[in-house]
Every structure is written in C-alpha cells, then in structure tokens.
Amino acid sequence: MSYAATHDQHDDHHGAPKGFFQRWCMSTNHKDIGTLYLIFALTMFFIGGSFAMAIRAELFQPGMQLMQPYFFNEMLTLHALVMIFGAVMPAFVGLGNWMIPMMIGAPDMALPRMNNLSFWILPFAFLLMLSTLFLPGGSIAGGWTMLPPLSLQTNALAYTVFAIHLMGISSIMGAINIIATILNLRAPGMDLLKMPVFVWSWLITAFLLIAVMPVLAGAVTMLLTDKYFGTSFFNAAGGGDPVLYQHIFWFFGHPEVYIMILPGFGIISEVIPTFARKPIFGYKAMVFAIASIAFLSFIVWAHHMFTVGLPLGAEIFFMYATMLIAVPTGVKVFNWVATMWGSSMTFETPMLFAIAFVILFTIGGFSGLMLALVPADFQYHDTYFVVAHFHYVLVTGAIFAIISATYYWIPKWTGNMYSEFWGKMHFWNSVVWVNVLFFPQHFLGLAGMPRRIPDYNVAFANFNMISSIGGFLFGASQLIFLGVLIHCAFFSKNKATDRVWEGAKGLEWTIPSPAPHHTFDVPPVIHDEELAHGNVNA
Amino acid sequence: MTSGGIRRSFTAWATLALASFGGVAHADPEPYQLNMSRGVTTWSQVPYDLNNISLGVCVVIGILVFGAMFIAMFRFRKSRGAVAEKWSHNTTIEVVWTTIPVIILITLAYLATGGLTSWANTTGSQMTIKITGYQWKWRYDYIDYLGKPISKVGFMSKLDEQSNATRQLGSGMDPYAVKVGDEHTYLLNVDKPLVVPIDTKIRFVITGGDVIHSWWVPALGWKVDAIPGIINAAWANIKVPGTYRGQCALLCGQDHGFMPIVLVAKSKTDFAKWLAAQEAQSAPATAPATAPAPASTAAAPASAQTAAAPATAKQG
C-alpha cells in the first residue's frame, strides 16, 4: 500500500531515483543520506589524519625539521576541528540516519528534506574552513578551543566562525529530526523502553546537541564581534574578561564530548549482545546511565579550567561533579562485562572492536578520573597526559565504536559480507599501533611535556619517537579499512543473509540485505520476542 | 650471558624502573621518565601522592574488570561449547557496583579537597614576585621581600641563545649539544633565570601582557594561567636549593614551545647577596634626587640605596 505522496519522486515504484544528481544531491532517503554522511566522515577522517601525520612527523625527533612553528599550530588546530566536527559527529549522524528508522519500524526520518540540507551544508562548511589554509597568514592556529585573546590574532577568524555556524546549523537540524522521528514515527508496539539502546543513545544525544550548539554559536559570534565590531566581551581593557569565553565555550565543550561518545555507547550495547548471544545486562540501567551522564555533562564544564584562577568553592564543586560521572559510566562498563559473562561468544571483527572499546575506553576513563582531582590536575593540565586521555576516549572510544558499527551493519547496507580476514588484520594492527601511539603520551605528560608544542627537550625524545612510529603505523592501518570497505561494497561475492549475524535481534534484521531503498512503508507487526529488548524486567 | 651478567642486567633494569617510577627530585625531565616527581616544596608532594593513589585505585579496578573480561572471553566462547545463560538483570549487583565506586570516589575526593584548600591559602607570604607572560618571554618583577619593598629589580627572561639558534627550521644543529655542564637544557634554559630564596613562603602574582600564557615549574607542583586583565596568585615554599626548569603551558602563538622558565633557588644568605647586587645595579642608573616610585604596596617606603639623598627626595 503506497500513499500518493510517494509518487512525487521521479523514481520507479520502489527503487532509488535514477539520475545521479537526483539520487545523491536531492536525496530525501535516510539510507542514501546516511551513506553520504558516512563517506563524508571517512574522507574527513583521512584529512584530519593526515594533519596528525604532519604533527607526529615533526615531533618524531627533537629539533625543527619539517615546518615552521606557526604551521604546526595550524595543523594541530585543524586536526581537532576536522576530527571532531568532520569525522566523529557526521559518522554518528550517518549511522543514526541509516539505522534509527529501521530500528523503530519507520519508513524514513520525520523531516526528509531538512535531512538533505543538514548533510549538504557540511561539504561547503569544510571547504570554507580548509580553504583558510591557503589564505595569506594561514588558517586559525590557536587550538580548536579558540581562546581569546590569541584567537583574535588571526585573519582567518571570520571564515572559520562562518564555517562553524554552518556546521552548528547542520547539527541542530539533524538533532531536531532525530527527536521528531523517535518520538513520533515508532511503529505501534515499539514502546520507548523496548527500543534498541542505540536509539536511546541518539535520542538523548539529540537533546544535548540542541542545548549546546547554540552556545558555541554565541561564543564564536562574540569572538567575531570582538575582533571586527569593537565589542569587548573578552577584552579586559574594555571591561570584559577572557575567562568569560572559556566558561561559555566549555559549557558547550563538555556536553560536546559526551555528544561524541553516547552514540558509541549505544553501538557497543548493540554489538556485544549480538555476538554474545545474550541480551544486554541491565537494559533499564543502561538507558538510565546514558541519561544520567547526559545530565551530569552540563555541570562539569569548568574542569577544563582548573588553572585559570577559579574561586576555591568552584574548584571543589566541579571536582566533585566530575568525579560523579565515573559512577554511571562505570555501571555501563560493568554491565557490558556482565553481558559477556555467561554468554556464548564468537569474535568476528565487530565484536573485536567492541571488546577493545570496553577495555581501552575504560583506560581513558581512568586517566579522566585522575584528571578530575584538582591538585593533581595542576600538574596534568595542558600536558600530554590530557592528550593521552582524550585520544583514548575518542580514538579507541568513539572511532572504534564507529568502526565496529560499520563492520556490523555494512552487510545490511550492501548485501555483501566484508572480508573477515582483512577485517581482523585491520583490527589487530589498529589496536596494537593505537596503543604504541598514545600510551607513551601518558608518560610524557607526567614527565612534564606540555601540549601544543612543535619541539621539545631531548629527555622527551624517546617516547615521542615511539609515539610517532605508532602514529604512522596506525594511520597506515586505516588504509586496510578503506580497502575492506571498497571491496565489500563493490567486489565482494559473499552474499549476506537478512539476519547476517546469528545472535542479531531487532527490526533491522527482518529486512532484506541489502536493505531496499524504501523499508517499512507499512508499519511492521512487532513481536516482542524478536526484539533485543522486547521483554524488559529491569 | 654469564649468571653474574644476568643479575647485573636485571639490577640495571630494576634500577631504571625504580628511578623512572620513583619520586626522585629531578631538576630536569629524564629520558624514559614514567612518573611525575615529588617536587621540592612544602606542598608539591600533594599532586604526586594523589597521582600515585588514584593510579593505584585505577590499576586495581582495571585488573578486576579486565580480568573478568579475559576470563569470560576464554570460558564463555561458543567454540568451547558455551551455552548462553538466560538472565539479563540483577538489581542487587547493580546496587553493589554503584555503591562501591561511590565510596572509592568519596575517599579520593576527601584527599583531594585537603590538598586543594592548603594550596589556595597564600596568606602569610614573606615575599611577592610578579610574573607577566608575553609573546614569547616572561617578565619577573620583585615586589617585596621580608616586609620591605624591592624597587627596580625586574627583567625579561627568554630562551637562551644556543637553544634559539638550534631550534630554527633546518638549522642542522644538534639539540643534544645544548647543555649546561652535564644537563641537557635544550629549550629549558633562559638568559636570565628567576632567583628565589629557599625556606620562604613566596607568593607569585601572575598575569598576562598580551594573550593567555601559563606559568609552570613542575618541581613546584602547580601551574597557573597568566591572563591579561586578571592577576592570579599562587605560593610556594621551596625546601631544596637548586635549578628548576619549566615551560609555558598554554598555547600562546607561534613560539609557545620556546618560552621556558628557569627558577634558581638559593639559600637565604646567597639570595640576599644576589638581591643586593641587583638593587645596586639598578640604583646608579637613576640620579639620587629622583624618587623612584616603587611598584610594591608594602608599607615601609625606605629603600637601601638612597644613600646620599637630599631631603627633597620624597618617596611615595
């Protein structure tokens, strides 16, 4: 049964639009838009990765061999901006776009045209931001945090702020779409507490996005007016305060890092139960933990500012609130382990990445707990200890979750199995080299190496060389991933079944592989025992 | 390898590991250093102890959690014939593994709060030094010492010549050749270090002159941001004479990595001699009749060098 509305498209009755421009530029299909986001994110991952390679190449040995210090600063600034706003966030949006409608039995996202706009803003925003590298004076080079007064010293500020505004609009519209879809388009019988954890994680993340992206927009607009329109928000001589920016930025910035991990938690809670052939342990606790983490993320921002001269009471409050986040996060880790306990596990590539996530993200969480202790943070702040912490939670955390999800769902997207041998090669290389890259950075920070420096005293040389070697090899390993993806999409002869994975449960596995262009045009009949969480007693 | 050789190499490794992890008061960072050092002040063991305690807690938790995972991956493999259990929740155990972490956190928070409140108290300082961060060097001004204002002892402190020449792109010079005696001081040495007395509670007032910088000497145990328009304060009471090196710790532009800090802590007698020499140096440059207006806010205006000042000189 089709509705008259679906015949407005210039496609044949149940398939994709015929023309390239129509299908890809004018798409209103959540699967195609999801694919666009994922390909965009992968491209930006390699671009941001090449900036990281430049950084690690200069840091390979003491002395300056390859670039001027200012260019090094451009690299570290753009590396972060590209990875955060171009790789991790769009990848999670792509996964959400692809999977959420299928997981809840909806035909598409609630607002398909806005979905298209949300995506297509991004290539233009990044073209604008990356083009600043070619301006006289180069791109911004004061760190992705853009603290004033330093960030006002560049001529690339206006372009970068405009690009950030575009990215923010994209995210806000995407978040609205997610909330509208999840709250309104669930098939009858798909109650909120029967939804996959991944859907819950995106519902909560969407609220975080709507809450904080406008705050970032405010902060960068004030930078713009301070530089060009004579305001003094952050200029003490005019009655303002540079620390005000830091409060506003980090009020966005801290929820932002949770935006970058909560969908990852959702992914792990899908993958582990499938390959353990056992339901997620403590479903309600897992959902509640995600909500608690999201709430707490709003009241900890000043832990990024422990050395600016906050009043003692503020330092104590933010220390306690930050430590508190360890509780719901710990509950999630314990529940993942409890899912594995007493299970019947197999170790295909998605499961390998998911298990590595649990171990290595937890290590990142440990260094985070250490950072929360203010007197200790006086020594850790702005050193490589912090760099190690956030790379553990973002690379072995968010990125590994995205990679796990890709291996997990790509048979559904393409209808083909990827090469399990090359997937495992990718895994083992990634997990070994990522640790060679980032673990020594803990030691560098403890020994006293500050961050964001292009050169260092010879005492730091040994671990820097080891870290750089890990970096080059980790970067090279990602080319294996690229090969696996291309082979799977275009060359693999190994067809995937509908269910793909023996232990997989949920509506998305009742659809053929590859998923047809339109699915659930008619709401499915929900059988609780087919859902992963149809029968929740806790 | 001979048995003696094995024992010797084991001893060498053990010594290296112990030295790397032990809290030896290094003046410099050491190659392969694994842990922070205890520092040289009356407070600096606080971050050191918190670091070690929290690391210990994390290692124990890690062993338990990762141990359970590895056991599970071995025991509950489908290839080994494991059959999945049916249970998927247990409220009691959830309560247990929520409560135990809370107790651990409360303990850590208690330890950290004590350390923080002692740090925040700069009262009772016997000396005040003003630090200003610039792109890309530091300025040190001595404000008062033992209740007396110090006038006109202030200077810029920037990266030493040899490091600066070596760090130029493609200089071809060897960073390992930049040394002071046996110490490798590449990028950790300055032309004019900050000289201070030991066994004196020194209050540092820190600000920025252009952009935000951060003043960090690991041996003191803390860093504080140098923000234009704000004056931050911190204190240190150094117990061990020596030379302590640090760096700017907040991205401040192209030469952020090239504006180090050197702190030379002398005995009180040696410091008094040094200070007197500095004051004598700056005094003859101004005619005795001119009243130098001291930057300090200390009460007593009299200063030692107005030897033959006629009565017209009025200090204020």
- Active-site residue, A451 included: yes
Integer angstrom CA distances of residue B201 from A78, A188, A310? 43, 71, 22
Mutate to test the interface with A, among B43, B52, B94 (most CBs of A within 10 A): B94
- Give the pLDDT confidence score for residue B221 in this predicted structure: 97
pLDDT of A345 strictly over 50: yes
- Does some domain include residue A537? no
Question: Residue A341: left (phi > 0), alpha (psi -120 to 50), or beta?
Answer: beta
- Active-site residue, A269 included: yes
Contact A379 B221 (CB under 8 A): yes
Q: Which of A258, A380, A413, A456 is catalytic?
A: A258
**What does the pLDDT average to over A281-297?**
97
pLDDT digits (tens, 9 = 90+) for B145-176: 999 999 899 999 999 999 999 999 999 999 99
Q: Residue B2: how many CA atoms within 13 Å on its side-chain side? A: 3
Contact A64 B173 (CB under 8 A): no
Indicate if the alpha-carbon torsion angle B170, B171, B172, B175 is positive or negative.
negative
- Give the pLDDT confidence score for residue A533 in this predicted structure: 83
**Residues 6 or more apart from A52 whose CB is under 8 A from it?**
A79, A471, A475
Grade residue B177 by pLDDT with cuts at 50, 70 and 90: very high
- Give the pLDDT confidence score for residue A160 in this predicted structure: 98
- Give the pLDDT confidence score for residue B282 in this predicted structure: 85
Question: Residue A137: left (phi > 0), alpha (psi -120 to 50), or beta?
Answer: left
- Does some domain include residue A4? no
Question: Tokens at residue B296, please?
Answer: 């300090």
pLDDT digits (tens, 9 = 90+) for B216-225: 999 999 999 9
pLDDT of A170 strictly over 80: yes
Q: Taking CA atoms, what residue in A is nearest to B120?
A: A312
pLDDT of B71 strictly over 80: yes
Q: Would you tell me which CATH number, out of the four given (1.25.40.320, 3.40.50.150, 2.60.40.420, 2.170.120.20), belongs to the domain B127-280? A: 2.60.40.420
pLDDT of B3 strictly over 90: no
Whole-number Å distance between alpha carbons of A178 and A190: 16
- Does some domain include residue A12? no
Domain range for A80 = 21-530
pLDDT digits (tens, 9 = 90+) for A409-449: 999 999 999 999 999 999 999 999 999 999 999 999 999 99
For residue B100, the one-letter residue type is I
Where do the CATH 2.60.40.420 domains begin and end in chain B?
A: 127-280
- Active-site residue, A404 included: no
Task: Quote the minimal CA–CA distance from A529 to chain B in Å.
Answer: 13
pLDDT digits (tens, 9 = 90+) for B76-134: 999 999 999 999 999 999 999 999 999 999 999 999 999 999 999 999 999 999 999 99
Contact present, A194 and A238 (Cβ < 8 Å): no
pLDDT of B74 strictly over 50: yes
- Give the pLDDT confidence score for residue A432 in this predicted structure: 98
Least confident of A26-30, A104-108, B27-31: B27-31
Q: Taking CA atoms, what residue in A is nearest to B79?
A: A346
Question: Taking chain B, what is the end-to-end CA distance rounded to the nearest angstrom?
Answer: 77
The three-state DSSP-derived secondary structure of A27-86 is CCCHHHHHHHHHHHHHHHHHHHHHHHHHHHHHCCCCCCCCCCHHHHHHHHHHHHHHHHHH
Q: For residue A489, give the DSSP letter.
A: I
- Does some domain include residue A14? no
Task: Quote the minimal CA–CA distance from A84 to chain B in Å.
Answer: 19
Mutate to test the interface with A, among B223, B230, B243, B263 (most CBs of A within 10 A): B223
B-chain CB neighbours of A334 within 8 Å are: 65, 97
- What's the CATH number where A497 sits? 1.20.210.10
Q: Residues A203-238, buried b or exposed e (16+ Cβ, 10 A)?
A: bbbbbbbbbbbebbbebbebbbebbeeebebbbbee
- Give the pLDDT confidence score for residue B200 in this predicted structure: 97
Whole-number Å distance between alpha carbons of A66 and A262: 38
Specify the residue for token string 């000497």.
B217
Q: For residue B206, give the DSSP letter.
A: E
Domain count, chain A: 1
- Does some domain include residue A1? no
Report phi then psi at A54, rounded to 5. -65, -45
